[in-house]
Amino acid sequence: MSEVLTKGKLAKAASFHMIGKTTAEKNDALEKIASQLIRDKVELIKENAKDLELGKQKGLSTSILDRILLDENRIEAMADAIRLLIELKDPIGEQLELIEKDNGLRIEKKRVPIGVIGMIYEARPNVTIDAATLSIKTGNAVILRGSSSAKWSNIALVSSIQKALALTTLPIESVQLIEDTSHETANELFHLNQYLDVLIPRGGKGLIDKVVQESTVPVLETGAGNCHVFVDASADYDMAERIILNGKTQRPSVCNATESLLLQKDWFSTYGEQLLIALQQKGIDIIGDQNVCAVNSNAKLATADDWAEEYLALTLSVKLVEDVIEAVEHINTYGTNHSEVIVTENKEHAAIFLQGVDAAAVYHNASTRFTDGFEFGYGAEIGISTQKLHARGPMGLQALTSTKYTITGEGQIRE
């Protein structure tokens, strides 16, 4: 049997053993994992060094090497994050509905674990810890399939986790790593419907699209973000500039960064030149439509592809629109259903925008950067869902749960 099949089967069995584990048992396991990571610090850093060395040989960029890096601070941060997770409310067992029927049947709908979660991700060893600990907190078993560039780090991290689990009432196989990082193992996971209840991709658009397009296991799509700011006719200049700069520059490489700017044409006549210069002074490259390029010689002319682009860099596409209706239509055509903003003093226009834009999070007078599980107060984040089923927007612990009806009677039959 292949590694994926073997571990899939073990994960399914482990998921049954996870059912009914108490909050105390799960938190105890999390605490033991946190301590184990600290205890294994030297070993983890040693194994991580192999990945960094191999990465340098392969010529990985400094920013990717930085993502892979584990040092004392980062390992301590992992342990701290686990201790915060311990404090969070356990969603399992929560009663969602109670229906008492005339025939005496008592129908209860409760939150239960999903079962087995598959996680496919890129070169970030911290996702290994995140995914493992969030799965444990929600009573799930997890199969991790990371990137080859973090292979030795991931093996070491999962070894620490399993050492800790061995000291608990939880099955060791509730957290397993697929060590073979070839394409074949990803493909096997895409079709492991027998053992996997859900597959979650974490990484760039290429990875996510591949999983969505190929997986027959249900996918929780944590998506790319081509996030727009629409500046309406009545927008306050200072507020608009502040929101755009924050969305574009605070952390350009993340999915909730602002990628595209729509400016109402009359507002543009008054403030356009000033705004473009302010953005360029902060190092932002402007890719504009003809109107934009006409007033700003440093702007590059946009192609049709630019309206759909997620730059993940200090680049911003800028386009003029007639009004809020055109802005909504443009966003619904080119957007990725992530985070969209209107800056306006006009409440009617705000209402049209908030209702009409088809996205997980739609803002009136605030930055796209707020779409985040921690900012929303969920205390944890699995990712930001841009699909419409199961979970949409920042996903906290609840997104890793399912529901179950339990019905008690005294011999009732259906007439």
The token duo for 42 is 């030297």
In the bound state with a second copy, the residue whose beta carbon lies nearer, of 151 and 349, is 349
Site membership for a second copy, residue 377 (CB under 8 A)? yes
At its nearest, how many Å lie between a second copy and the CB of residue 258?
Answer: 11
At its nearest, how many Å lie between a second copy and the CB of residue 31?
Answer: 25
At its nearest, how many Å lie between a second copy and the CB of residue 121?
Answer: 19
For residues 292 and 286, what is the distance between their CA atoms, to the nearest angstrom? 9
Lay out the site mask for a second copy across 156-195 (x = CB under 8 A, - = otherwise). -------------------------------------x--
For residues 135 and 237, what is the distance between their CA atoms, to the nearest angstrom? 45
At its nearest, how many Å lie between a second copy and the CB of residue 212?
Answer: 6
Site membership for a second copy, residue 412 (CB under 8 A)? yes
In the bound state with a second copy, the residue whose beta carbon lies nearer, of 58 and 388, is 388
Site membership for a second copy, residue 95 (CB under 8 A)? no
Which residues ranging from 235 to 274 are in contact with a second copy (CB under 8 A)? 236, 238-239, 242-243, 245-247, 250
- Which residues, 6+ apart, have CB-to-CB distance to 93 below 8 Å? 110, 111, 112
β-pairing, 285-288 vs 315-321, is parallel
Among residues 214, 309, 323, 326, the one that binds a second copy under rule CB under 8 A: 214
Using the contact rule CB under 8 A, the part of the chain among 37-45, 83-91, 208-216, 279-287 near a second copy is 208-216
CA distances from 190 to 1, 70, 350, 384 (A): 17, 29, 41, 20
In the bound state with a second copy, the residue whose beta carbon lies nearer, of 83 and 404, is 404
Site membership for a second copy, residue 198 (CB under 8 A)? yes
At its nearest, how many Å lie between a second copy and the CB of residue 15?
Answer: 8
How many other CB atoms are found less than 10 A from the CB of residue 62?
Answer: 8
Residue for token pair 């991931």: 154
Lay out the site mask for a second copy across 276-315 (x = CB under 8 A, - = otherwise). ----------------------------------------
Among residues 99, 166, 294, 325, the one that binds a second copy under rule CB under 8 A: 99
At its nearest, how many Å lie between a second copy and the CB of residue 183?
Answer: 18
Using the contact rule CB under 8 A, the part of the chain among 51-59, 75-83, 274-282, 403-411 near a second copy is 403-411
DSSP 186-254: HHHHHT-TTT-SEEEEES-HHHHHHHHHH--S-B--B----EEEEE-TT--HHHHHHHHHHHHHS-TTS
Q: What are phi and psi of 118, to 5 degrees?
A: -105, 135
Which residues ranging from 327 to 366 are in contact with a second copy (CB under 8 A)? 332, 350, 354-356, 358-366
- Which residues, 6+ apart, have CB-to-CB distance to 40 below 8 Å? 156, 159, 160, 163
- Which residues, 6+ apart, have CB-to-CB distance to 144 below 8 Å? 119, 121, 128, 131, 132, 154, 158, 175, 176, 177, 178
Is residue 79 within 8 A of residue 126, CB to CB? The reply is no
At its nearest, how many Å lie between a second copy and the CB of residue 231?
Answer: 12
- End-to-end Cα separation, the chain, in angstroms: 49
The token duo for 225 is 């973000």
Site membership for a second copy, residue 326 (CB under 8 A)? no
Residue for token pair 């404090």: 87
Site membership for a second copy, residue 414 (CB under 8 A)? yes
At its nearest, how many Å lie between a second copy and the CB of residue 165?
Answer: 21
Residues within the interface to a second copy (CB under 8 A): 16, 19-20, 99, 101, 105, 107, 109, 114-115, 193, 197-198, 212-216, 218-220, 236, 238-239, 242-243, 245-247, 250, 332, 350, 354-356, 358-367, 369-371, 375-377, 387-390, 392-393, 402-414
